[in-house]
Structure 1
Amino acid sequence: MAREHRYGVGLTWTGNEGSGTSSYRAYGRAHLLSGGGKPDIPGSSDPHFRGDPSRWNPEELLVAALSACHQLAYLHLCATAGIVVTAYEDAAEGVMMEEPGGAGQFSSVVLRPKVTVAAGADAEKANALHHEAHAVCFIARSVNFPVTHEPVIEVEEVA
């Protein structure tokens, strides 16, 4: 039986520079994401859309969510399969296409996980588990564009 899970996030716009949205250039895109006693996440729009490059933008957060979801699913599957992961990093990249009228959408995201497994681990199985992780990742299953992965598996040397 399916179980429902709900996720609440608060957003507070902090970009009123005195005259609200009186013109496109009159307001800042700064905002804070908050929720459940966690640290706030300072957000803005992409710098191409007058955003603050020192703050996270929604597009980056979407790519980060896909990367983190894949990693969590992958680590779970490795633990279940008896593959000991000792390091994991990702260099994820998303591509968004902006249309002339200003609308846009993501066309793809590629995840590039670099995984180190313990000496003696089955590197082939470790690689194959990326496909399984993709199939169960809640976020990847929810988007309407391709999410691909280019994993690199390294096996630690025997000490």
Structure 2
Amino acid sequence: MAFKHLFKAKLGWDSTPIRYQKSHQIAIEGKENLNVSAAKAFKGDPALLNPEDLMLSAVVSCHMMSYLYVCSQNGIEVISYQDNAEADLEVLHDGSGRITAIRLYPKVVIRQIDKMEEAMHLHKKANELCFIANSCNFPIFHFPSCEVV
């Protein structure tokens, strides 16, 4: 049996007489508003988040949470988790485009030396469980590393 959850976001934007501004706000009830713009390459405000930042952030965040979940299910104590993720955006001549790939570089520190190999392999399981990864139509590559303290 599948459980369904509804998420809502309210977007607000107003035009200016000079030209269309790319900056806008997204409100999610009970949370701080997000100030968003287009990426700098698309004449947006480089100081603000953009949809591409948010897509990459959603993937890297969801993978980490899924990974921590599968580690806890397998008795692996994760001490720290860091990632320097990257996304490739391809823009075509007609102005359309899409993210073509995301690369995750999770660096995990665990406590048990005998669980190191399993900790490395659990990134695959985490990707299979990740809600966001399961919603993407592009490949997500994983280049994990693991250390023991």
Could you state the TM-score of these two structures normalised by the residue count of structure 2?
0.95
Give the equivalent residue in structure 1 for 2:116.
Answer: 123
State the Cα deviation string for residues 93-119 of structure 1 (Å, max 9, x = none): 000100001000111001111111114
User: One-letter code of the match for 1:6?
Assistant: L
Q: 1:32 is paired with a residue of what secondary structure?
A: strand
User: One-letter code of the match for 2:40?
Assistant: P
State the Cα deviation string for residues 122-144 of structure 1 (Å, max 9, x = none): 11000011000001101111111
State the Cα deviation string for residues 47-91 of structure 1 (Å, max 9, x = none): 111100000000110010000000000001111111000101111
Decide which moves more: 99-108 or 120-129: 120-129
1:42-81 counterparts in 2 under 5 A? 42-81=35-74
User: 1:121 deviation in Å?
Assistant: 4.9
Residues 1:101 and 2:102 are matched in the alignment = no
Give the equivalent residue in structure 1 for 2:80.
Answer: 87
List, as ranges, runs of 4+ consecutive aligned residues in structure 1 with deviation greater than 4 Å: none
Q: 1:56 is paired with a residue of what secondary structure?
A: coil
Q: Distance in 2 between matches of 1:102 and 1:49?
A: 10
Q: Distance in 2 between matches of 1:87 and 1:10?
A: 34
How many pairs were matched up? 149
Q: 2:55 is paired with a residue of what secondary structure?
A: helix
Give the equivalent residue in structure 2 for 1:22.
Answer: none
CA contact (8 A) 2:76 2:112 kept: no
Give the equivalent residue in structure 2 for 1:113.
Answer: 106
CA contact (8 A) 1:121 1:155 kept: no
1:138-153 counterparts in 2 under 5 A? 138-153=131-146
Q: Distance in 1 between matches of 2:141 and 2:103?
A: 5
User: One-letter code of the match for 1:113?
Assistant: P
User: One-letter code of the match for 1:11?
Assistant: L
Give the equivalent residue in structure 1 for 2:7.
Answer: 7
User: One-letter code of the match for 1:8?
Assistant: K
Decide which moves more: 116-125 or 78-87: 116-125
Unmatched 5+ stretches in structure 1: 20-24
Q: 2:107 is paired with a residue of what secondary structure?
A: strand
Which of these two proteins has the greater Rg computed from alpha carbons?
Answer: 1
Q: Distance in 2 between matches of 1:62 and 1:71?
A: 14
Could you state the TM-score of these two structures normalised by the residue count of structure 1?
0.90
